[in-house]
Amino acid sequence: MQKDDLIRVTIEDLSSDGLGVGHSDGMAFFIKDTVIGDEVEAKIMKMKKTYGYARMTKLLVPSPDRIEACCPVARQCGGCQIQSMSYPAQLRFKENKVRNNLMRIGKFENPPMEPIIGMDTPFRYRNKAQFPIGYSRDGRRIAGFYAGRTHAIIECEDCLLGAEVNQEILETVLSHMEQFQIEPYEEQTGKGLLRHVMTRVGHSTGEIMVCLIVNGTKLPHEEALITALTRIPGMASITLNTNTEKTNVIMGRKQRLLWGRPYIEDTIGAVRFRISSLSFFQVNPLQTEKLYGKALEYAGLTGEETVWDLYCGIGTISLFLAQRAKKVCGVEIVPAAIEDARKNAALNGFTNAEFFVGKAEEVLPEKYKTEGITADVIVVDPPRKGCEESVLTTMIQMQPKRIVYVSCDSATLARDLKYLCENGYALQKCCPVDMFGNSVHVETVCLLSRK
């Protein structure tokens, strides 16, 4: 088989970045824009030793799970890799992915899985959006997103994952730009003014934040823009962020409040959070509440426990647990996130939560060695690469009754669970949660108990 050959393939699975995977002549092929169950004709684009990449030339037999993508720019955008797959099929795919990784990598024969927790509808769930501003081919000022890996802007003011109000915000900003001839920022030359518009909407409060990212310190006729934006119901915060660097990083560090408060508020469960334009916050608060609710259930707290929450971010899980624990200690590498965690603890009147800045793999072993810290329950929510071995070995030495593992990558999760289960723990329960409908990502929460 070689480049340009035509092959006939049935799609059996999806790769971690959403490409369809099927076999021909014992070789695996990755084929974009296909759905599990599709039978396609495809042209080989690139061959490697044991696999290749191909492009679909004909959809021979569509999968019964194939649907029409709702978003007209789904293919160009790449943000929603699996919009052409029905939502029930998406959930089945995610549940299987977690189960397969636990079996294949974790060596669990029959993983104790609970059914995946899906969303009511997999659209309009994102509370944050960042739109680059630029020119269309015919010279209009537009907002949208970057096409694939390039920085060409595809016009789109209404991402179906985001809030409907984004469109009104963008129209207001763009018409202000037209009226006063404000130039969008141009990456090649470093000239022009407005780079991005960032929006956040509080899911439970309805409060809206608009942050204008500017290649400079002000915008012409700011007052007029503020007047127009504040007509939008819910507007709570308008800020101007200065970013004059030639960089892909969207936000700069300097910020000026144009109107309202420098933050909005939102809640997850009964816990209130103050979110500034620079702080991290979960993008899908509704599902976050379900995920952390599961983590809380698994933690089995009675009010007497000492809990360590590793990779705690702004303390979302920590504060969720603090409602039912004697004491919660959070560890996180980003200092600004820890500042937010402390502020959020104070805002909610928690006096039983303490936060430490540092790497989990350094803070935990260090504190165990020098202070002999103990825990009844340890919760971890690491980034994709999972836990460092020194975190796992220290957890094992600390002998908590229960470990709750929250993961955004079921492959590294399975690897870490295997290690814990070879060293005195047993996997009790596992529950996948869909936080990012229409994408291939899936979160999982697991309960381990000491044998």
The site for ligand SAH (CB under 6 A) is made up of: 282, 311-314, 316-317, 331-334, 337, 359-361, 381, 383
Q: How far is the CB of 295 from ligand SAH (least distance, A)?
A: 9
Minimum CB distance to ligand SAH smaller for 106 or for 330: 330
Strand boundaries in 269-321, DSSP class E? 271-276, 306-310
Cβ 263 to ligand SAH shortest distance, Å: 16
- Alpha-carbon distance of 361 to 364, in angstroms, equals 6
Q: How far is the CB of 337 from ligand SAH (least distance, A)?
A: 5
- Supply the minimum distance, in Å, between the C-beta of residue 245 and ligand SAH: 22
Distance of CA 433 to the CA centre of its chain: 13
Distance CA(188)–CA(179), nearest Å, equals 25
**Nearer Cβ to ligand SAH (225/406):** 406
For ligand SAH, give the closer residue by CB, 134 or 382.
Answer: 382
Classify 22 as helix, strand or coil.
Answer: strand
Put residue 66 in one of left, alpha, beta given phi > 0 → left and psi -120 to 50 → alpha.
Answer: beta
Identify which of residues 85 and 317 has a Cβ nearer to ligand SAH in the complex: 317
Q: Which helix (H) or strand (E) covers residue 60, if one does? A: strand 51-61
How far is it, in rounded angstroms, from Cα 164 to Cα 162? 7
- φ and ψ at 349, to 5 degrees? 75, 25
Q: Is 408 among the catalytic positions?
A: yes
Report the residue number whose CB is nearest to ligand SAH: 313
Distances (CA, A) of 376 to 56, 318, 339, 403, 446: 53, 14, 26, 9, 16
CB of 441 to ligand SAH, least distance (A): 13
Structure tokens, 28: 């695996």
On whether the CB atoms of residues 137 and 144 are closer than 8 A, the answer is no
CB of 16 to ligand SAH, least distance (A): 18
SS3 435: coil
- Strand 327-332 versus strand 306-310 pairing type: parallel
Q: Which of 71, 408, 430, 431 is catalytic?
A: 408
Q: What is the DSSP letter of 116?
A: P
Which residue, 186 or 388, is less far from ligand SAH as judged by CB?
Answer: 388
Task: Report, in Å, the least distance between residue 268 CB and ligand SAH.
Answer: 9
Instruction: Write out 253-279 in H/E/C secondary structure.
Output: CEEEEEEECCEEEEEECCEEEEEECCC
Q: Which residues contact 211 (CB under 8 A, 6 or more apart)?
A: 197, 198, 199, 200, 238, 239, 240, 241, 251, 255, 277
Q: Is the dihedral of CA 62, 67, 72, 75 positive or negative?
A: negative
Q: Which is nearer to ligand SAH, 105 or 283 (CB)?
A: 283
In whole angstroms, the minimum distance from the beta carbon of 421 to ligand SAH comes to 23
**Exposed, middle or buried by CB within 10 Å (0-12, 13-18, 19+), for 418?**
middle
* CA–CA gap between residue 420 and residue 400 (Å, rounded): 12
Cα distances (angstroms) measured from residue 205 to each of 245, 265, 443: 34, 7, 25
**Pick 312 or 325: Cβ nearer ligand SAH:** 312
Nearest to 364 by CA among 405, 324, 309, 315: 309
Of 72 and 335, which CB lies nearer to ligand SAH in the complex structure?
335
Residues forming beta bridges with residue 66, ordered by sequence position: 85
What are the catalytic residues? 408
